[in-house]
Amino acid sequence: MEELKKSIGLRCTFCHSVLFALPHENYAPLNGSLIVCANCGHENDVTSLILVVKAKAINIAEDYADKLIDKFQKDLKKAFKGSKHIKFK
């Protein structure tokens, strides 16, 4: 299960920094609000940043699912190797 633990951070659209200037420690921006990059000073739309992170997370999940399917297929072939009644393509 350790391979499932991934960390995806918000990154500035302009300089790809993960540092943002937030007004206070527990600041939680609302959808559509802007946050300022602490590195380059550009404003980033929070909703756009979240959509990028969501797409990355979906890619990670799809890659993991593909690996699981490949492993399952190999295990099935191995389990039924030599069987006269079950053949795999």
Q: What is the pLDDT of residues 44-79, one digit of tens each?
A: 999 999 999 999 999 999 999 999 999 999 999 898
Please state the domain extents for the chain. 2-79
Task: List pLDDT tens digits, range 5-52.
Answer: 888 989 999 999 999 998 888 989 998 899 999 999 999 999 999 999
pLDDT at 83 > cutoff 90: no
Global model pTM greater than 0.85: no
pLDDT at 89 > cutoff 80: no
In whole angstroms, give the CA distance from residue 51 to residue 66: 23
Amino acid 52: pLDDT: 95
Nearest alpha-carbon partner for 44 in 21, 24, 61, 69:
21
